[in-house]
Structure 1
Amino acid sequence: MKIGIGSTNLAKIEAVQRVFSENDEIISVRVPSGVSDQPFSDEETIEGAIQRAKKALETTNADLGIGLEGGVTETPYGLMLCNWGALYSKTDHSPIIAGGARILLPDEISERLRTGEELGPIMDDYCMRENIRHHEGAIGIFTNGLITRGEMFSHVVRMLKGQFIYRMNG
């Protein structure tokens, strides 16, 4: 099967590779999410995942298109990290959607996000390293490495794949 992923982010590519077979051809392609660089709600993050999945399917002419999007969302308890995925197939024109883990972000990170900064550069600054988003991500930093960004997105991709198989067999 040919699978297009709407991202060139290493953690997202790794997540898809973990879930699908070695025999599947995975093609990563840079596509626009159609949302802000820092999605700031579940709805915006879901929309970003849907747009990435659609564009990946169209751009790669694959059997499946997968979009994965990370964002943040306000709650009564503070700003939380959120992540969503979407899957489109050539044969089914409605998206399959799944969401993943959430954690409360520290106030010092939340304050910067609320002023319009993006999480990736904030995390690089916070950790004094580069490209945190391509590796463990904020989830990896704030869970002390127990869950990485790739693992978090792998969980979402498993839910997408499971729903896809269910639809195909249902």
Structure 2
Amino acid sequence: MTVLVGSLNPGKVQPVRDVFAVLFPELEVSGAAVPSGVRDQPVGVGETRRGAVNRARRAARLPGATWGVGLEGGVRVERGRGWLFGVVAAARAGDGLLLTARTAELPVPEAALPRVLAGEELGGVMDELLGTHDLKRGAGTVGALTGGLVTRSAVWAQALALALAPALHPGFYPSVHAARTNVR
């Protein structure tokens, strides 16, 4: 029985491994290369959610999957300011249960926002601005800008744990379980 994360990025696979090790320790977690179906840097809540859901559902369809998990980082713009956030989606193979949650948000640096809106990925922009390398596979922008107090891994883990609450307590969420559709 396996949890397949719709990414090979260790900065996404490890927080899923950490959460499932506590909640469902019998499941192994590994990454799988699946497309998000959205831009490399999604903009807006809708596009970011679509990317996470696509990754989760595609991973759940792979042989041996018990769960598929998608983590998608996005930027939303409100009143000229940018906000970095993520969406986590968990799709249970077989019965179609789909659970989602959003992460906390971080203001996008003003120098980065125009470049992101022009199509560049935030991780690469931040690497250039901070003089770092491959930030998105490590502490992430959130880790770099909070002095390590909040890490990318911790933000993903928190959102995944929140998303999985209805799976842990189905009696408290009957409408979530009634709305299932088959992912196969």
TM-score range (shorter-chain normalised) is over 0.9
- Map 1:32-51 to 2 at 5 A: 32-51=35-54
- Map 1:1-150 to 2 at 5 A: 1-21=1-21, 22-76=25-79, 78-150=81-153
Code of the residue aligned with 1:17 in structure 2: it is R
> Structure 2: how far apart are the matches of 1:168 and 1:83?
27
Code of the residue aligned with 1:2 in structure 2: it is T
Size of the aligned set, in residue pairs, is: 170
Query: What runs of 5+ residues in structure 1 fail to find an aligned partner?
Result: none
- Residues 15-59 of structure 1, C-alpha deviations (whole Å, 9 max, x = no match): 111111253211210110000111000100000000000111112
- Of 98-107 and 53-62, deviating more is 53-62
> Structure 2: how far apart are the matches of 1:74 and 1:124?
21
Runs of 4+ in 1 over 6 A off after TM superposition: none
Code of the residue aligned with 1:11 in structure 2: it is G
> Structure 2: how far apart are the matches of 1:59 and 1:90?
9
Query: What runs of 5+ residues in structure 2 fail to find an aligned partner?
Result: 175-184
> Structure 1: how far apart are the matches of 2:47 and 2:126?
21
Code of the residue aligned with 1:127 in structure 2: it is L
Change in CA separation of 1:20 and 1:49 when aligned onto 2, cut-off 3 Å: same
> Structure 2: how far apart are the matches of 1:42 and 1:73?
6
The secondary structure found in structure 2 opposite 1:8 is coil
Cα pair 2:43 2:117 within 8 Å, conserved: no
> Structure 1: how far apart are the matches of 2:81 and 2:161?
28
Cα deviation for residue 152 of structure 1 reads 0.7
Cα pair 1:4 1:60 within 8 Å, conserved: no
Q: TM-score, normalised by structure 1?
A: 0.93
> Structure 2: how far apart are the matches of 1:32 and 1:94?
20
Cα deviation for residue 68 of structure 1 reads 0.5
> Structure 2: how far apart are the matches of 1:142 and 1:19?
24
State the identity as a percent: 31
- Residues 62-102 of structure 1, C-alpha deviations (whole Å, 9 max, x = no match): 11111110010011261100100111112432421110110
> Structure 2: how far apart are the matches of 1:58 and 1:167?
23
> Structure 1: how far apart are the matches of 2:120 and 2:31?
26
The secondary structure found in structure 1 opposite 2:141 is helix
